[in-house]
Amino acid sequence: MTDTKPALPERPYFSSGPCAKPPGYSPEKLATESLGRSHRAKIGKTRLQYCIDLMREVLALPDTHRIGIVPGSDTGAFEMAMWTMLGARGVTTLAWESFGEGWVTDAAKQLKLDPTVIRADYGQIPDLSQVDFSTDVLFTWNGTTSGVRVPNADWIPADREGLTFADATSAVFAYDIDWSKIDVATFSWQKVLGGEGGHGVLILGPRAVERLETYTPAWPLPKVFRLVSKGKLAEGVFKGETINTPSMLAVEDAIFALEWAKGLGGLKGLQARSDANAAALDAIVQSRPWLSHLCADEAIRSKTSVCLSVEGADADFIKAFAGALEKEGAAYDIAGYRDAPAGLRIWCGATVDTADIEALGPWLDWAYASLKQ
């Protein structure tokens, strides 16, 4: 390895999930009054409702949409939506990375719905104009493993017949989302908020609620998926009365992140930090001929989970590259996703400091030069 080493990033946490904690975070700063108490006691329900209220405020989510905290991280939230609402009409699934492919598998092999599948390779996006909105449409707003996102919600018609299901786990808190175009959205705290895993968030628009109250799936539903009681939406789920026992420690952790976000000015403050990080990383890429974006089109390139290609690199090279940086304490968890083309994946969400992205550049040079020797 080369002897000359740059200054280390102050916080070398660039994992795309779980992501860096908010600046200034420490467990000692979390409120602890709810710990060791029942989540159904007044204090537990109050803190859960407060977390929901903060999410609504920071996301600028309209009152038309409900927010629930559910089990199983983003995956659990999205599968809850699929299992409870799909089957009423045809289904179209969009896939341009591994998590979108997961929803294809669920719809086709588990629910056996024979969906229309529209695919694109890693680094690309399908032709969105080809989507049939008389069907229910499933898509990832921001493909975490490919670094490709939808440009906006303009491709979704206001007069659609089917429901839109957006896996938005790497998108919420980083992009403007037109909530009038989204009937179902899911995410987890572990992405842009830097929260803990294990809990998902389910957002339902009025059309999704109508579907739940007027349609009963042909398959049985496990308890943790049940959102309807006696033909009506289980409203308590969206007021802090969770279906099963949540971790109040994870809830307090999320509250810390949301209060931090509110202190930045809310959604715009979070977006500004993510935008600055993505711009700093792009500057690094543009000045190095051996480094490039997996997604060449800036209009659909992620500002959070940025995926990079390294000239001439295979999986072994990337493993050694990421391992060398981890050993030095310069960057943690930056190898690309296992199913994606060999490359790097660097999180640029709001909890990362731009100065640390800038400090990463010379370390990328160091690792590349060292391995090329």
Q: Looking at residue 373, what is its pLDDT?
A: 84
Q: Is the pLDDT of residue 358 over 70?
A: yes
- Global pTM value: 0.97
Q: Which fold has domain 266-372?
A: Aspartate Aminotransferase, domain 1 (3.90.1150)
Q: How confident is the model at residue 4 (pLDDT cuts 50, 70, 90)?
A: confident
Q: State residue 136 phi and psi, 5-degree precision.
A: -75, 140
Q: Are 135 and 91 in contact (CB under 8 A)?
A: yes
Q: How far, CA to CA in Å, does 148 sit from each of 18, 43, 143, 198, 337? A: 19, 41, 5, 25, 13
Q: Is the pLDDT of residue 2 over 60?
A: no
263-318 tens-digit pLDDT: 999 999 999 999 999 999 999 999 999 999 999 999 999 999 999 999 999 999 99
What number does CATH give the domain 27-262? 3.40.640.10
How many secondary structure helices (H) and strands (E) does the chain include? Answer: 8, 14
Tokens at 219, concatenated: 């398959």
Q: Looking at residue 195, what is its pLDDT?
A: 97
Q: Looking at residue 3, what is its pLDDT?
A: 64
User: Is there a shared CATH topology between the 27-262 domain and the 266-372 domain?
Assistant: no
Task: Provide the residue ranges of all domains of the chain, joining segments of one domain with +.
Answer: 27-262, 266-372
> What percent of the chain clears pLDDT 70, i.e. is strictly above it?
99
User: Which stretches of the chain are DSSP H helices?
Assistant: 42-59, 73-85, 98-105, 206-214, 248-263, 267-286, 315-328, 354-372
111-141 tens-digit pLDDT: 999 999 999 999 999 999 999 999 999 999 9
